[in-house]
Structure 1
Amino acid sequence: MANSVSFLALTIVVLLVVPSVIEGSDAPFIVAQKKATLNRFKSGAEKLSVSIHIYNHGSASAYDVSLTDDGWSPEIFSIISGNTSASWERLDVGAVLSHSFELESYVKTVFYSTPAVITFRVPTKTALQEAYSTSLLPLEILSDKPKASALHLAKRLLGDYGSLVSSISIVVLFVFMVATPSKPSSSKGSKKKH
């Protein structure tokens, strides 16, 4: 969740700042997000699914795009499927490239992953350009995870979504009050008969 929030914050900053910086220039702007999910699938082993999404938020295509994510220590991880590197011919403006692979670990440890490196070519420059993916939170491999109690889950949901629920409730209450006609009081509405 924290990784998603950090990527969302990064994306917002990129979308607000980058257009003013690259306005008038014809260049790609690469943003890459790295995600990982741990799943214990048999006793004594844990599977790690890694996915990397590469976005081009610039104003020109990137060519000869190459992804390398070789920060996975062979003493801790073995590759189950896929590769830790990939390459593509081009990444057009507004397009997304995705790559995923799976690793397996039998070692109980806390692992700190390095960002993936993306290299690409821009027609107007001779040197290859580099971009880096977001980093991951520390991965607790084969850790003894305590069972979450109902109270802990309720606190977490309240912390994550409490302000959203409050905001929506206020808007719904306001709309209800505006949309509901006021009822006339009995003293104003009654006419005296003479």
Structure 2
Amino acid sequence: MPSTLNAVAVFCGSRFGTSPLYKQAAQLTGQTLAKAGIRLVYGGGAHGLMGVVADATLCAGGVVTGVIPDFLESREKMHEGVAELIVTDSMHTRKQIMFSRADAFWILPGGFGTFDEMMEILTWKQLGRHHKPIILINVENWADALLAALDVAVEQGFAAATARAMIQAVPDVETALLYSQNAEKSGRVPVEQL
């Protein structure tokens, strides 16, 4: 089956975080997407891990679409080197555009904004709005507590096990790419099968 993976939306921090491995993973993400000929769709910022992913994609010859709300212009420097920079009127519009432009979603280390993006795209999948892969790249186990919270929601009866299975945690960028390329539009491919 030919790959339909033309663009990946990457959700990640506008800060660098405490581990240098986060920055390395962001660089590898950009390089990997560019080498695979996959467009990066991201939050449009020039700082933190967002800026690192965009810069790495561009330096490796890739194409980047940034999507940023106008009110963040005073808080975050917009990345002016991207092929396409879309300025929106709200965070909600930003997420809708990122959703519509992406064939898969990768989550790298980040803070509350990253959590918000991840939870919204996961909720949309739970509600049947899409069947696109959602992959959390668990660099240095940064998201263990977040994943545990999702598991507790299932254990306590607030979410179905099938909903929890809609997000896949992987240890590295290479596995995220393999998973994304092999995931079927109507389901998911267990990492063990890659």
User: TM-score, normalising length from structure 2?
Assistant: 0.21
Q: Which has the higher strand share?
A: 1
Flag the structure with larger Rg.
1
Q: Which has the higher helix share?
A: 2
User: TM-score, normalising length from structure 1?
Assistant: 0.21
Identify which of structures 1 and 2 has the higher relative contact order when contacts are C-alpha pairs closer than 8 Å and 6+ apart. 2
